[in-house]
Amino acid sequence: MVQEKINHNNGRPTGTFNVDLRKQHCDCGKFQAFHLPCSHVIAACSSTRQDYSIHISDVFKILNVFKVYQESFLGLPHEENWPQYEGFTLCHDDSMRRRKKGRPNSTRIRTEIDDVEKENIRCGICREIGHMRRKCPNVAGPSQQPSR
């Protein structure tokens, strides 16, 4: 049994955890998931005067990592020397793209009701038909306003 005294603020509460070194099991689940000793296993090994490194999987030991890079890697040949590809041609799916920043595009399907003729558009200022507030003739421009 290993009891935690410090809250590490990573989502799990402090408490006691059962550690079985022979079965390589810890209640926190990290020992089984990552195949590396968690803090509870290291504490249990230290209390039994055992080296925790015997519980590290051989895959993660530094000698095996260096063996990966012992062989030299061949470089890629020039693109002109590649064999001709005769497989399927893949096309991207636009619906799987990330959304761009900014205002989203409308996906609404427009109908005849949405087609408003320009003559029916009313100005937001004077409510007359045929123009909008941007070009309203009834609004005094900046040079036409009286000074105070």
SS3 for the chain is: CEECCCCCCCCCCCCEECEECCCCEECCCHHHHHCCCCHHHHHHHHHCCCCHHHHCCHHHCHHHHHHHCCCCCCCCCCHHHCCCCCCCCCCCCHHHCCCCCCCCCCCCCCCHHHCCCHHHCECCCCCCECCCHHHCCCCCCCCCCCCC
The tokens for 17 are 């955890």
Q: Which residue has the higher pLDDT, 34 or 106?
A: 34
Angle at 56 between CA 10 and CA 41, to 5 degrees: 50
Q: Is the pLDDT of residue 119 over 60?
A: no
Per-residue pLDDT, 11 = 60
pLDDT digits (tens, 9 = 90+) for 21-51: 889 899 888 888 988 898 889 999 998 999 9
Q: Where are the domains of the chain?
A: 2-62
Q: Grade residue 19 by pLDDT with cuts at 50, 70 and 90.
A: very high
pTM reported for the whole predicted model: 0.43
